[in-house]
Amino acid sequence: MKLKVKDVNLSTGGPLVAVLHEKTARKLNIYPTDRLSIRRVKRGNRITSVVNISSMGIREDEIGLFEEILKKLNVTEGTHVEIDIAERPKSLAFIKKKLEGKELDEKEFTQIIKDVMNNEFSDVELTYFVSACYSRDFSISETVALTNAIVENGNRLHFKDKIILDKHCIGGIPGNRTSLILIPIIASLGYKMPKTSSRAITSAAGTADTFEILAPVTLSIKKIQKVVNKTNACIVWGGTGDLAGADDKLIKIRYPLSIDPTGMLIASILAKKKAAGATHVLIDIPWGKGAKAETKKQALELKRAFKKVSKLLGLKIRIILTDGSHPIGHGIGPALEASDVISVLKGDGPEDLREKAVFMATEMLKLVGEKDPLKKVLDVLESGKAYEKFREIIIAQGGLQRPIIPKAKYFFDILATRNGVVKGIDNKNIAKVARFAGAPEDKAAGVYIHVHIKTKVKKGTILFTAYSNSQQNLEIVKKQLKEGNPISY
């Protein structure tokens, strides 16, 4: 059948979608989420798209195309295309198999990931896959299979060095921007550390969101290689250059659901490490109330799983369990966290953030067999070499020599209503406050915590300050705080 192209002026951000009039769909016996094979009349490659059906804005002799298809077919409105019914991806059967609780093998995961990369799935179908991984979880062999499938179906970085270091925290702890401190420490000691980092999934800021205050984090593979070869390090968004690109498509689905299936979490982390060329990896598993691992038992189970998977992937790994019962540092939100990082590198800043970064950098050096690792870490931090290396990385990635950290237009203080001692700071609720304020989309928005656990407070003491460029967002924060203060005392 030949149909005239109608540009619907919409983009999906990935999946290929076409729209048919309901009468045309009925003639072809096509239903929503069925597949169409589409090509320009008498020439060009065919592409397969998901079908939507509507009687609004589309005539019977037309086919509405989203931007992704228009670009792939190189067609414009008014062009004619040929359509045929196409089969659904065979990998949908594998997703159904996982939903039924059955184990998938490497070939099945590879086909799923290939179809993810080729935008063969609708968002609904991808959601089913993530849900299956969440409700059924993975065996160790499945986690290895998914990791390899993600790595093999994306771009990779390649370096000649025998040792390439990397680090990852499983997340969930507000303000935990240790990566931005230990990366320049490690790089200034002569080791390569190409760091690909995530944007926020459930938090108020990811490492990439925070570093983006200082320099671009979306770079080409060629640019990343150049930056790392020049400075020994980079700090880029994990989705840049299609490094383990399928993982970023899955993260987009996990984000609104706020879920991190264990097998998918491990595969996501280790795929990014392998794609970046890492040989030695430090994994930080914070545990405690409000962290992703709420108990030590959960943390130890995760540690064992990481060890088993890493061994099968050929990665040298060191895993540390850290206190995840409360935030680290003062700032929560991209700009506020960037300020904390720079303060520490300059020799000041939050002591708990500094201590953890020093500890982690020391553990990384132990992993590669360095002698006197703590002394070496403190030498480059206290001499200012780490800060100079940080500035070098910023400039190499296209940042300014003197970056300007944005400040929010509005703020208000949350005060203690009585005397007491700080007993706890709820990770999830304090992060929620920062997100209600507008973080991470509003880079200047967030929360600045003025107290720590065991701090004595008097009535009127400032517990934390909420910042935003939207007065309306701050009103939402105030309403949220009526349900309870994230700081207990």
Catalytic residues: 260
At 26 the three-state DSSP class reads helix
Quote the CA–CA distance of 205 and 209 in Å, as a whole number. Answer: 6
Hey, which bits of 142-197 come out as E strands? 165-169, 193-197
Q: What are the φ and ψ backbone dihedral angles of 273, each rounded to 5 degrees? A: -65, -45
Query: d(Cα 107, Cα 105) in Å, to the nearest integer?
Result: 6
Q: Which residues contact 11 (CB under 8 A, 6 or more apart)?
A: 66, 67, 68
- Contact (Cβ atoms closer than 8 angstroms) between residue 379 and residue 361: no
In 10 A of CB 57, how many CB atoms?
11
User: How far from 176 is each of 194, 234, 322, 340, 459, CA to CA, in Å?
Assistant: 19, 19, 11, 10, 29
Q: What is the 3-state secondary structure (H, E, C) of 354-405?
A: HHHHHHHHHHHHHHCCCCCHHHHHHHHHHCCHHHHHHHHHHHHCCCCCCCCC
Greatest CA separation found in the chain? 80
Q: What is the 3-state secondary structure (H, E, C) of 295-364?
A: CHHHHHHHHHHHHHHHHHHCCEEEEEEEECCCCCCCEECHHHHHHHHHHHHCCCCCHHHHHHHHHHHHHH
DSSP H/E element including 474: helix 471-481
Structure tokens at 395: 């400039």
Distance separating alpha carbons of residues 481 and 460, to the nearest angstrom: 16
**Phi, psi angle pair for 222, to nearest 5°:** -60, -40
Rounded Cα gap, residues 218 and 447, in angstroms: 26
Output DSSP code: residue 443. Answer: T
What DSSP line would sit under 193-252, residue for residue?
A: EEEEEPPPSSSS--HHHHHTTTS-----HHHHHHHHHHHSEEEEETTGGGBTHHHHHHHH
In degrees and rounded to multiples of 5, residue 201 shows phi and psi of: -105, -60
398: left (phi over 0), alpha (psi -120 to 50) or beta: left
